Amino acid sequence: MSTATIALIIFVLTYIGIIFTKLPKVNVDRPSAAFMGAVAMMAFGVVSFQQAMSMIDFNTICLLLGMMIVISCLKLEGFFTLVAQRTIALANTKIKLLIVIVLVSGLCSAFMVNDAVVLLFTPVVIMICRSARLNPVPYLMAEIFSSNIGSVMTITGNPQNMLIGINSGISYGSFLLHLLPVSAFGMIITIVLVRAFYKSEFSYSNALVIAPDAFQKEKIDFKDMKVSLTIFFLLVLSFFVGKLIGLSIPVLALCGAGLMLVFSSPKPSSIIKEVDWVLLLFFASLFIVVGAVQKAGLFSSLLNVHLQENIEGVGAVHALSLVLSQLVSNVPYTVLVLPLMHHANSQMLWLALASSSTLAGNATIMGAMANLIVIGQAEKEGVKIGFWQFFKIGILVTILTFILSISVLMLIG
């Protein structure tokens, strides 16, 4: 059996494991499927151990690690609880609560990695809704959509944008400048559609009555938080001027993480325990699997596809994202098409991939990791969101934001 055939079999089995996380008599989930795929590529001689290690994009791994440490510190110091309290203070009607949840989750996701934001915000949203005797589903749907949409605008918004930002070489500021309109107008679309789909749930006249002691048990240390927030804001600022001081975004993220570990109040070991090491393993494994099939020549036909910097090329990237993101989720899809994007070598198409791969995540429950995180946490709290319930509004949000994305890219790009 040829090396290319072996690589193809391993690749197909790996992505089956990523798509179908509950196979009969097999203990598998996405990280374990990717990990076993990477191990198999080495064990069956498709790549050597040294070649496999060289295929891992450590720039992306380090950027993700640095941001996880920063976010873990803010979490332990009560930053997200503070945000929840301010949310309650601003929202005295149902529609205002919807608007605040969309804006807060969207803006936080832009700079704090959306998967981490929804992980921390979902219990807060449910707590607010139950304190006010509201149906949590519309607000959780809004949180999912706005988190994905808000994360579009920056390189640090989500894992796939980190991949794209580092591989494309687009500066942090340029990335933000081009995709900010997509996120801003996309969040407005979210508010309008959620309110329209759940019309009976919203009323301008009904004031919210939330228990004043809803978050009383949560400890918030304002003094220590000032240090961490200062480091965080300086970190975000440094992303814009990194090229001027000669440091890359991953190095800046690691510097910020190091400062957090040294100067913040939580014990460094407590912060490090909060890091999602499984996600980092998942990424590293995916890099090896995709790199191995690329080395075996299985992507050679893909590289013959030449995308143009026009509406057809941008539309093709969006269409591909819509289909494949539902099959394998947007992060594995992005890793898969990196060779094609390198071949195209177009800033407009890189931005189209960043926008479309993230926005496509709103179409179905399977489209993005953030969706699964919110729905999984909600189920633990007794709140169920079904596939078709999600799809009915999710596909409309995706289509409208796709039209917005293509329009913005053609006008600005």
Q: Provide DSSP, 283-311.
A: HHHHHHHHHHHHHTTTTTTGGG----SSH
> Which amino acid is present at 154?
T
Closest C-alpha to 368, from 129, 117, 83:
117
Contact 401, 364 (CB under 8 A): no
| Cα 403 to Cα 67: distance, rounded to the nearest angstrom | 31
Residues 6+ apart with CB under 8 A from 142: 98, 101, 102, 105, 190, 191, 194
| Cα 12 to Cα 204: distance, rounded to the nearest angstrom | 52
Per-domain residue ranges for the chain? 3-412
Q: Work out the pLDDT band at 301, boundaries 50, 70, 90.
A: low
The per-residue pLDDT for 218 is 55
Q: Work out the pLDDT band at 49, boundaries 50, 70, 90.
A: very high
Above 70 in pLDDT, residue 204?
no
Above 90 in pLDDT, residue 380?
no
Q: Per-residue pLDDT tens for 66-113?
A: 988 998 888 888 887 777 777 767 777 888 889 999 999 999 999 888
Ordered alpha helix ranges (H), 200-273: 222-245, 249-263, 268-273
Q: Per-residue pLDDT tens for 217-267?
A: 555 666 768 888 899 999 989 988 877 788 888 999 999 999 999 998 889
Over residues 22-34, the mean pLDDT reads: 71
DSSP state of 200: G
Q: What phi, psi does 207 have (nearest 5°)?
A: -80, 150
**pLDDT above 70 coverage of the chain, percent:** 90
Quick one: tokens of 184? 């801003």
Closest C-alpha to 135, from 411, 403, 385, 404:
385
Above 60 in pLDDT, residue 38?
yes
